[in-house]
Amino acid sequence: MDTISASDITPEHLFRSRREFVRNTSALILGSFALAACGSIASQPAAGGATVAPGQTKGTADELGDALTSFDAVTGYNNYYEFTTTKEGVAELAQNFKTTPWTLEVGGMVNKPQKIAIEDLLKRYPQEERIYRHRCVEGWSMVIPWTGFALNKLLKDAEPTAQAKYVRFESVMRPSEMPGQSSPWYTWPYVEGLRLDEAMNDLALLVTGVYGKPALPQNGAPLRLAVPWKYGFKSIKAIVKIELVDTQPTSLWMAAAPNEYGFYANVNPDVPHPRWSQATERRIGELSRRKTLPFNGYAEQVAKLYDGMDLRANY
């Protein structure tokens, strides 16, 4: 997460088709500027990638009336450093990533540790669609129809012990399929964390699908997190391990740049990133910037988690 790609300044019509999108993004690269986190200046966007149609979604907008971001953008403009730092290149590099067999390990400070195959997880927990805003720390955002189930269901079933204070999430480590994991700049595997009460909040969603279909590899299939009141980097992809722990986990981004990325990472328009403002964002598919909402518009559901905390110190 260190620079913003040229496509962050790409106008709406470029998202209409993948091919057009890729072609035009290449042209815009010359005009790119180094700015943000979670991204990089795209050098050579990958052409092609699988063409997949969206499935049925129940809604067309979020609860604020904001329209869904296009399927092409949701599945063609991704941050996934295990593959590449180029957002437009992830889909193609990830298309042969093996999402089966897949086992999730739930352990640490729990009474009922378990290893669950993804198929059993899907059977055990009924899936629901939730339309969430997704705000990247780089200053762009989307509205995405995820399918999944509340993380708290899984956690309750595992029975955290009294010592458990945090939840640590770990992504898969598979350098043979994930070329980005050869990069020495990051401490692989990708790790994220939540305080236990944050993880128990009903908004925290374990995602298995996008746009009414099983999730595609580029979106973190077969299992990723969506924590919509936090910057996108907290929403870890390709999860293989969930551990209950008593000390605050160090995430990949905290290890990489501790002065820029904190543990909490709540969306907060009043606290700028050290290198740019967080007051506004560019909704992918829109031309002008819009104001960023505290907690990404989910304050009613989550602000109470932070009562009495200094949200500037705990960025």
Give the residues lining the site for ligand MTE (CB under 6 A).
1, 38, 78-82, 134, 136, 171, 190, 219-220, 232-233, 235-238
Cβ proximity to ligand MTE, 157 vs 187, nearer residue: 187
Nearest-approach distance from CB 215 to ligand MTE, in angstroms = 8
Nearest-approach distance from CB 304 to ligand MTE, in angstroms = 25
Nearest-approach distance from CB 173 to ligand MTE, in angstroms = 10
Q: Which residue is nearest to ligand MTE (CB)?
A: 232
Nearest-approach distance from CB 58 to ligand MTE, in angstroms = 19
Q: Which two tokens stand for residue 36?
A: 């943000």
Cα–Cα dist 119/67, whole Å: 32
Cβ proximity to ligand MTE, 232 vs 297, nearer residue: 232
Cβ proximity to ligand MTE, 109 vs 273, nearer residue: 273
Nearest-approach distance from CB 141 to ligand MTE, in angstroms = 10
Q: CB count, 10 Å around CB of 262?
A: 16
Cβ proximity to ligand MTE, 74 vs 109, nearer residue: 74
Name the nearest CA neighbour of 154 among 136, 167, 141, 144: 167
Nearest-approach distance from CB 189 to ligand MTE, in angstroms = 8
Cβ proximity to ligand MTE, 160 vs 297, nearer residue: 297
Cβ proximity to ligand MTE, 160 vs 170, nearer residue: 170
